[in-house]
């Protein structure tokens, strides 16, 4: 990826977002994954992890302030759950995809081939890095505007679909409401050494397998199973 090519891409991104940066290199750095530097050791910019660190704090502040001011009667625990649903990896990776950030990522050849959860994680981190870069370059008001437009705008969906509940809680709530059944979970298979176990777990409704899930812990596999069961049944 030549510097000219990168500059053209960054200009295209600025135009798309209607957010011209004073410091173009700061914008570019937000998209530099650590793996890219492993294959391009003479690249003139650092990776985006420090910007991600900053952006994470800015994002949390803006979202927290909004929830605090707009919902004065809601308890801290409820607001915390709402905030978590707005700033988690799944939501931020969706934001990144919707903004076309995939097209601007600077990754190693190996990372560029990764999809699924690995790419979601990279995209979510990039959104935070972008917010950090935007805050440094254009100040808090512009960072707040971006967050309001692209993240806080999803709060209605979060509340309507109860996305602030984890998948297990959502599946149990809907299963009890629709079928008067409480889901149960059981390990179907486990493999790997003790320090790197993997689990395949089934979620059942009245002993009938509703879906399966996998993960590196039982909790993660149960969440995956519940998520798959929600999707399979067309439940949100």
Q: Which of 52, 56, 111, 120 is catalytic?
A: 56
Q: Is 202 helix (H, G, I), strand (E, B) or coil?
A: strand
| Confidence tier at 99 by pLDDT (50, 70, 90) | very high
Q: Which of 120, 128, 137, 223 is catalytic?
A: 128
DSSP conformation class of 196:
G
Residue 145 has pLDDT above 90, yes or no: yes
| Confidence tier at 6 by pLDDT (50, 70, 90) | low
Q: May I ask the CATH class of domain 167-233?
A: alpha beta
- Which residue ranges make up each domain of the chain? 3-160, 167-233
- Strand pairing category for 184-191 and 198-205: antiparallel
Whether domain 3-160 has CATH 1.10.1520.10: yes
167-233 matches 3-160 in CATH topology: no
pLDDT at site 110: 84
Q: Note whether 110 and 35 are within 8 A (CB).
A: yes
pLDDT at site 113: 83
DSSP conformation class of 186:
E
Query: In the annotation, is 128 catalytic?
Result: yes
First to last CA, the chain: 41
pLDDT over 90 percentage in the chain: 65
| Confidence tier at 52 by pLDDT (50, 70, 90) | very high
């Amino acid at each position: 990826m030549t510097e000219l090519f990168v500059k053209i891409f960054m200009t295209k991104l600025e135009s798309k977002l209607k957010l011209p940066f004073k410091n173009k290199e700061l914008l570019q750095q937000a998209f530099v994954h650590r793996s890219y530097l492993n294959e391009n050791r003479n690249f003139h910019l650092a990776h985006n992890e420090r910007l991600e660190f900053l952006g994470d704090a800015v994002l949390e502040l803006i979202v927290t302030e909004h929830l605090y001011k707009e919902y004065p009667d809601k308890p801290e625990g409820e607001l915390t759950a709402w905030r978590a649903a707005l700033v988690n990896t799944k939501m931020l990776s969706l934001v990144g995809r919707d903004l076309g950030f995939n097209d601007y990522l600077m990754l190693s050849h190996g990372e560029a081939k990764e999809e699924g959860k690995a790419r979601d994680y990279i995209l979510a981190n990039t959104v935070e890095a972008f917010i950090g870069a935007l805050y440094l370059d254009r100040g808090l008001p512009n960072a707040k505007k971006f967050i309001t437009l692209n993240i806080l705008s999803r709060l209605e969906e979060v509340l309507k679909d109860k996305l602030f509940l984890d998948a297990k809680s959502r599946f149990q709530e809907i299963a009890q409401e629709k079928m008067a059944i409480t889901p149960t979970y059981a390990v179907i298979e486990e493999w790997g050494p003790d320090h790197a176990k993997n689990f395949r777990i089934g979620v059942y409704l009245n002993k009938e397998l509703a879906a399966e899930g996998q993960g590196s812990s039982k909790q993660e596999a149960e969440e995956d199973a519940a998520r798959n069961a929600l999707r399979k049944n067309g439940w949100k």
